[in-house]
Amino acid sequence: MAAFSVLIPARLASTRLPNKPLADIGGKPMVVRVAERAAQSGASQVVVAADDASIVQACEAHGVRALLTRVDHASGSDRLAEACELLGLDGDALVVNVQGDEPLIDPALVAACAQLLEQRTECAVATAAHALLSEEEFRNPNVVKVVLDQAGRALYFSRACVPWWRDGARDGLAGLPAAGTPALRHIGLYAYRAGYLRRFPGLAASPLEQLESLEQLRVLWHGDRIAVFEAASAPAPGVDTAEDLARVRALFAA
């Protein structure tokens, strides 16, 4: 197993759920729960990259390492790029970006992304996906789809229905692609080499990225490759809303 670090970006402001990283789940802040799950992946270190001192203090109170980063970062990737600098990570060091609102993240999935990137030396990034079985989700623009090449590398990410089964649609069949060519739902988990992560914020945003509102398209636009791990099933959902938080709290209470 390759040595890797887990970095968790945590931003205090949230439109739908204010102070989300500090939301209590079973007596601990959500970001601490995320860090505890990530630590089970076998990572050599787990570090929260926060934009507010209150997050750092909450993490340290529970034995989780945290760094205070700038408030004005445009994205989590930018925040983690600063964290790589603060930690002095070597350019070849493997870093997995685990979102701070994933308290049920599967540790094995985190490790799988890191291991995949170590193996795929021609790729700059590794991520994950799983087969879509619901036509409703396939047609949902909030569900991001990814199409792969024969080597398991991303060709494109989209909110649209891709790949589109033309003949099936013509014949009135289900919108999901035919058997053998599954639609894949992207899982927002990323592994990088620290050198690439530091370079990423300096790459110009691509028109496709801005059109689809998908930051990962910047990687493909600039000619870099993304390896995709195909998970056997969908991961547990993250926390975006108060309803999501209530559901996760109930799971921890049980």
Question: Which residues 6+ apart lie within 8 Å of 154 measured at CB?
Answer: 127, 146, 147, 148, 216, 220, 225, 226, 227, 228
To 5 degrees, how large is the angle CA 7–CA 9–CA 11? Answer: 160
Residue 224: pLDDT over 80? yes
Give DSSP secondary structure letters for 53-101: HHHHHHHHHTT-EEEE--TT-SSHHHHHHHHHHHHT--TT-EEEE--TT
- The one-character DSSP state at 173 is -
The pair phi, psi for residue 74, each rounded to 5°, is -75, -25
pLDDT digits (tens, 9 = 90+) for 129-161: 999 988 899 999 999 999 999 999 999 999 999
pLDDT digits (tens, 9 = 90+) for 70-107: 998 888 889 999 999 999 999 999 999 999 999 999 99
Question: Please, are residues 3 and 96 in contact by the beta-carbon 8 Å criterion?
Answer: no
Question: Please, are residues 96 and 110 in contact by the beta-carbon 8 Å criterion?
Answer: yes
pLDDT digits (tens, 9 = 90+) for 51-70: 999 999 999 999 999 999 99
The per-residue pLDDT for 13 is 83
Residue 239: pLDDT over 60? yes
Q: Name the β-bridge partners of 228.
A: 127
Residue 173: pLDDT over 70? no
Distance of alpha carbon 75 from alpha carbon 201, whole angstroms: 9
Segment 216-225 mean pLDDT = 97
Residue 14: pLDDT over 80? no
